[in-house]
Amino acid sequence: MSIQGTVNDFYNILKNFLHNSNEIRALAEKQLKEYLAIPGKTLFFLIQLMQNSPEDFIRKLSSVLFKRFVAQDDFDKLWNAFRPEEQEAIKRELLEVFKKEQDPKVMKQICQAVARLAGQLFIHKQKWPEIEALIMEYIKGSDFMAENAFRILAELFTVDSGRFMANVGTLQEIFDSGFQRASGSCLVAVAGALCILVTEIDTVDTKIFEKYSAYMINLIEVLYNANDEDNLHEYLELVSEVAELEPRFFRRNYLQLSTVLVKISKKKDYVNDKLRQMPLESLVSILERMTSLVKKHKTQVLELCSALFDIAVSIEDEVDEEWLKPKEGYDIEDDLRYDDNVNFAVSSIDRLLSTLPDDDIFPVVERIVEHSMSNPDWRFHNAGLMIAGQIGEYCESTNKVKNLVPLLVTHVSHSHPKVRAAALYAIGILADDMKPDFQNEFAKELLPPMVAAVEDPVPHVQSRACAALTNFLEEVDKLVATEVAVVLLPKLVKSIQTGISIVKENAVSCIGSIAESAEEDFRKYYAELVQFLVLCYRQFHTREYRQLQGLILETLSVMAVAVGKEQFTPFAATVIELMTSTQDPGLARDDPLRAYLLTSWQRICILLGKDFAPYLHKVIPGVFKIAESMPVMGIGEDLSTGSLESVFKEVSDTPEEEADLQTSETEEKSLALQMLQVFSAEMEADYVPYIEATTKIAESVLTFFPNQGLRKDSANLLPSLLRCLKKANVSKDIMVAAGSKYITSLLNAHDKEIITEVKSAQVLALKDLYEIMDHFMSAADVKTLAERIFKYFKDSEDRKVQIEKYVKDCKDDDEDEETVEEGNAKMEDEEEYQKHLSYFLGAIEKSHKDEFLPEVQNLLSNIVQPYLLGNSKLQTVAVFLLDDLVEYLGVEKLGEDLWKQLAVRILNYATHAEHAVRQAACYGVGALAINGGAAFSSICVQCLTTLASAVEIKKDEGRKDLWGGARDNAVASIGKILKHQSNTVSFGEIWSKWLHYLPITVDMDEGKDTHLFVVETVLNNPEMAVGSEGNLLPELIRVFIKIFNKKLIRKKEYPKLAQALKKLNEYPAIAALLDNYYKTKLSADDQATLQKILSFVKS
């Protein structure tokens, strides 16, 4: 292209950007694009207009275009297209522009243009000594000159802060002089440059500049007192970035900062309303990242809560018509536009609550609610209710919210629609955060008003009612769901038929919640509702109903799971055809249907199992398309895109160990990978045709830098693919080749991996691969692998030493608690990783018993013994390793002497004070019983005595799950002794005591195995099981009822449980006792449970 034009022609094109005529503006845009395609002449035209145009707009627009020009990715190519003398001319003329400009607003754009060119030159190792000299000259000049020098510095800090930190002394001198300036705009430029520097450099280096924080806080007050809103807004944005990225910077002067910012937020006559929110946002950001400040400044935290509440009630008294009558396709997120102050305040207070000690949370919320309810203004009630809803996340007991419930019930029927919506919002949030206790406690009071609100005349209230019911009904008892369905389902159907889109959407979701809780009792509604929802899906197909269509797909799949495969099968073809027809045309990246389709396919596949195979070929292409796509990132003003990985590596300053970028695309890709894992796990041999393509997808993501979750998902997928080959009965050679390929890929990814949490996932995947492949390695291979794993243990210990040093240094430097907690979290990741390494070793021992034997002494001397002498976390890992040796090698391989030595070590830790250590050891005692053979008799009494002591250890209310897990493993191991060493013990005597310990409720896997043993014992010897005079019958019935009601036995074992109950009735003496106990001792609910169990008896 050749452009024949003068600078005047170019000027006219830019001027036409302001023309009233759309046609002339469009032509100007087209002509400008032609000029921008030829950089040589255009760049000089821009400089000429920046320098000579009398119009501010033209100088500003020229500066912006120049900045974008030189910001291009191919700057090196662009710059080198100029001759050296032209390059010098561009730099020289640009500096002349900078020196000449006097308009502050234009000057801001020129400073950015100068800085952008300088930054690009620095990046590409080009020299521009004049700019550095000019900056130093201007810093010493007038306030206006210094202001612009600091603006350029600020831009350059974002490009190459290290260049300036190399002369930190000079930097300090620059800021020392800068903060002595008198001009408000100059001080903003100085402080702004410091803000940017602080967010660009390493946290440890920010301490050098903390002495300036007092100046920066004083400047906020100066600007506020001068009513300088423009500069105050610009400056508060920068302060907010520091608060978010480097909150420690203000820790020494937090009290001063809090006082100033809260004062600024109280002014109510700003032209820009955001000036009330911005200061409080900064304070919240600092506190949630530095919770140690909360303890030191409780008074200021309460003042902050009060200021936030003031903002929450600062909304219009009249409700916007668009809120009262929203349009179709309305996004509930649009509420942020109407209630920006309320949503900002509520979310901020929620963030603050998370920083408070548990004992302080409820009094703060209680004070806010009392204050809000004492004022008749509906805005106070609205804010108070929405804030009250946040407390559930922080309450362990429903007693804390008991007094709120009558308030919520009353306000669901309040005269003002916003208050009704707020009450329903609070109920929904509390139900979600405190499930199922909240539902169990308050269903009777809350369900009737919520159900009535589904017919509210205001769509927003209707929608909130359906949403609250969705959350509430997800976790209610089956009986409650069944009862409410009779009344609620017709209302929901009517809402879907007549309501606007936001009502339809939440009504559809609510149907799914009812189905989920009602389970098979939902079957009587299923046929009618599935046809109704399919019809709705086809009827509401325009763009504004895409979210609704996604929710319909979700609900169809949820209902299918609830009613079961048999009821779903007649409708399977219709539902699946609906889903495939949606997927076939291909969906845009931002289409909400994509995620709903993925999760719905997942549910249908799990439900149908192998019967899903005929549909797999229709589904898999769409899933592959999402799984194969590499996320992209828009960059630059022209929104050109590049792969997320390449762009993120280029632009991110985030250390690799912290990189974890979440986007909608990474979330979808993660869903697709998880879905492929489900498909492969469920389809087994039928998935073999897709293994090669799936392998390529998984391996391409194993080292995907920007997202940790995707790396874990890809690792988890590989074992599922290998299982498919095994189920297909492929040859040993194919299995070994595929498994070895996966193992090599995972080991290489593991060795490159920096994130310990991801390493843990990779190690667990490796464990699974070795278990699936079974025996395939030589003794030399096992030795090499064992040494590699031993090295992983050592590497982890080395990292722990570094972490300990980091935590100690933080404490010595008086760092905040969060920094210490970060170190502690990394330490926990290492401890979990070591636990997974022990599982990995166990898989090798299990599959290569003889080959691993030579490594046992190395394992004991290099890892087990040192770890047993360490802290409780190390002892837990050591006991895991001992457990695996006695479980997988047993007395047969280890020999009786070594086996007994290991048994003594395990027993020594079976009553340990630390629950995790005790749990591991108690599990090991069970392994001793299973694989100890005749040798177990010599330690049998000691094992039973030790396990009984472990069971009786006092309950730890503060750590109920950990205590419960340890107790459950002790109880389960007594059961294993009864099962596997029945000839060694007095079975009846131990059995009668053991039943009192049941059921097992925390360790579900151990529990289900143990409860099955109880059922089988009753089936095999019912007279012994109930005791000599039937005295154990009440205990047995108690256990049966609990394991059925709490789903503590596998569903496939229900017929066996029913058969055991029926078996008791086959013995007249036992039947008489059971009949009497049934009629005189059992409640109506327990009687109903026994009848339900008996319904599973196979005819």
Q: What is the pLDDT of residue 652?
A: 42
Greater confidence (607 vs 70) lies with 607
HEC secondary structure over 150-206: HHHHHHHHHHHHHHHHCCHHHHHHHHHHHCCCCCHHHHHHHHHHHHHHHHHCCHHHH
Which of 467, 532, 531 lies closest to 505, judged by CA?
467
514 three-state secondary structure: helix
> Degrees (nearest 5) of the Cα angle 498, 449, 556?
45
Classify each residue of 184-211 as buried b or exposed e, where b means 16 or more C-beta atoms within 10 Å of its C-beta: bbbbbbbbbbbbbbbbbbeeeebeebbe
Residue 535 is predicted with a pLDDT of 96
In this predicted structure, the answer to whether residue 638 has a pLDDT above a threshold of 70 is no
Q: What value does the mean pLDDT of the chain take?
A: 90
**In angstroms, how far is CA 288 from the centroid of its own chain?**
17
CB 346 within 8 A of CB 561: no
pLDDT of residue 327: 87
Residue 1099 has pLDDT above 60, yes or no: no
- Average pLDDT of the segment spanning 845-860: 96
| Residue 996 pLDDT > 60 | yes
Cα gap 139→148, rounded to integer Å:
8
Instruction: Report the pLDDT averaged over residues 794-816.
Output: 81
What is the DSSP annotation of 482-535? HHHHHHHHHHHHHHHHHS-HHHHHHHHHHHHHHHHHHGGGGHHHHHHHHHHHHH
Q: Which amino acid is at 223?
A: L
Strand intervals (E) in 545-586? none
- Residue showing tokens 């293994």: 691
Question: Residue 948 pLDDT > 60, yes or no?
Answer: yes
For residues 186 and 146, the answer to whether their CB atoms sit within 8 Å is yes
Q: Which residue has the higher pLDDT, 816 or 579?
A: 579
pLDDT digits (tens, 9 = 90+) for 656-683: 445 556 677 788 888 889 999 999 999 9
Residue 824, C-beta contacts closer than 8 angstroms, at least 6 positions apart = 807
| Contact by Cβ (8 Å): 143, 105 | no
What is the number of H-type helices and E-type strands within the chain?
58, 2
Q: What is the pLDDT of residue 815?
A: 58
Q: Is the pLDDT of residue 848 over 70?
A: yes
CA dist., res. 705 & res. 369, Å (int):
46
Name 185's Cβ contacts closer than 8 Å, sequence gap at least 6. Answer: 104, 143, 147, 231
What crossing angle do the helices spanning 459-473 and 417-433 adopt, rounded to 10°? 10
Confidence of residue 111 (pLDDT cuts 50, 70, 90): very high
Mean pLDDT of 1066-1090: 92
Q: pLDDT exceeding 90 applies to what percent of the chain?
A: 68
Closest CA to 492 of 520, 527, 462, 518: 462
pLDDT in tens, 1037-1075: 999 999 998 889 998 999 999 999 999 999 999 999 999
Per the CB < 8 A criterion, the answer to whether 552 and 575 are in contact is no
Tell me, rounded to whole angstroms, the distance of Cα 428 from its chain centroid.
20
Q: What is the pLDDT of residue 333?
A: 62
State residue 6's pLDDT score.
86
Query: Which one has a higher pLDDT value, 117 or 2?
Result: 117
Length of the chain, in residues: 1099
- Give the three-class secondary structure for 643: strand
Q: Is the dihedral of CA 446, 452, 456, 459 positive or negative?
A: positive
Locate tokens 């390529």: which residue? 696
Check the CA dihedral 1004-1009-1012-1014 and report its sign: negative
Give the 3-state secondary structure of residue 1028.
Answer: coil
Q: Determine how many CB atoms are found less than 10 A away from the CB of residue 633.
A: 18
What is the radius of gyration, based on Cα positions, of the chain?
35
pLDDT in tens, 702-733: 998 778 999 999 999 999 999 999 999 999 99
- CB count, 10 Å around CB of 524? 13
Cα 616 to Cα 613: distance, rounded to the nearest angstrom: 5
How far apart (Å, rounded) are the C-alpha atoms in residues 645 and 910? 48
Residue 1047: CB atoms within 10 A of its CB come to: 10
pLDDT at 2: 40
Positive or negative CA dihedral for 285, 291, 296, 299?
Answer: positive
Which bin fits 356, alpha (ψ -120 to 50), beta or left (φ > 0)? Answer: beta
Query: Does residue 874 carry a pLDDT above 90?
Result: yes
Amino acid identity, position 551:
L
Question: What mean pLDDT comes out for the span 786-797?
Answer: 96
Query: Which are the contacts of 243, defined by CB distance < 8 A and separation ≥ 6?
Result: 250, 281, 282, 283, 285, 286
